[in-house]
């Protein structure tokens, strides 16, 4: 059976290829340690989360607006079949991203230092961690509960649905805006020059 014919098979194939390629490059050994696994999962889940965030804001929201303006096919197919599945991967991708990020900081003894802006690397990675934490809060406290009303997964009046649409949209747009500096700080933390520049900027506010 071709693994590419199912999403589960495709994901499994990706992990198998990652292991095989790593062993080939390492002459038969598998040098990735615990920290490497954590960072790997952090990247994978982060790409899933932010990728879906951008999909919602750059693709689905405009598409839903256009579909609503037309009688056919209308937004029902997206709302019934696409959005719930996308939101499933979206919200749990956010959880795994935060947990693996926290685990990475803990592995380096940087968890408290990062969230208290202890200086240098800690401040830079901490800025990204705080932005990610705010984004996680928005996903589970603002976006998901209100999207359930919008999609009809929970009962709501017409006024509640209208309010939920606005709240979910603004929270999602906020996360999109926050993701831009968040990704900057996450990347800068591992590059000396960028980290120094970001740390200098942060020192003016903290």
What residue spans of the chain are helical by DSSP H? 7-25, 34-55, 61-68, 76-77, 83-107, 111-115, 121-137, 144-150, 158-188, 192-203
- Say which range, 27-31, 119-123, 152-156, 179-183, has the weakest mean pLDDT: 27-31
Model confidence at 59: pLDDT above 90: yes
**Maximum separation of any 2 CA atoms in the chain, in Å:** 63
Under the banding of pLDDT at 50, 70 and 90, the label for residue 28 is: low
Flag the least confident range among 24-38, 94-108, 143-157.
Answer: 24-38
193 band by pLDDT with thresholds 50, 70 and 90: low
pTM of the model: 0.86
Cα torsion 157, 163, 166, 172: sign: negative
Query: Which tens digits make up the pLDDT trace of 69-109?
Result: 776 666 777 888 889 999 999 999 999 999 999 999 999 99
Please report, for the chain, the start and end positions of each structural domain, with discontinuous segments joined by +.
1-31, 33-203
């Amino acid at each position: 059976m071709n693994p590419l014919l199912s999403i589960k098979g495709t994901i499994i194939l990706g992990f198998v290829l990652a292991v095989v390629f790593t062993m080939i490059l390492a002459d038969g050994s598998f040098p990735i340690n615990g920290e490497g696994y954590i960072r790997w999962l952090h990247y994978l889940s982060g790409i899933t989360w932010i990728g879906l965030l951008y999909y919602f804001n750059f693709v689905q929201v405009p598409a839903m607006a256009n579909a609503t303006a037309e009688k056919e096919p209308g937004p029902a197919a997206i709302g019934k079949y696409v959005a719930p599945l996308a939101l499933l991967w979206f919200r749990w991708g956010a959880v795994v991203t935060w947990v693996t990020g926290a685990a990475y900081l803990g592995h380096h003894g940087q968890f408290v230092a990062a969230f208290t802006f202890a200086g240098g690397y800690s401040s830079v990675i901490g800025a990204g961690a705080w932005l990610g934490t705010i984004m996680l809060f928005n996903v589970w406290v603002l976006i998901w509960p209100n999207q359930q009303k919008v999609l009809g997964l929970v009962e709501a009046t017409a006024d509640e649905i209208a309010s939920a649409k606005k709240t979910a949209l603004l929270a999602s747009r906020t996360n999109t805006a926050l993701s831009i500096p968040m990704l900057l700080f996450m990347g800068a933390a591992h590059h000396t020059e960028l980290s120094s520049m970001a740390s200098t900027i942060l020192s003016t506010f903290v």
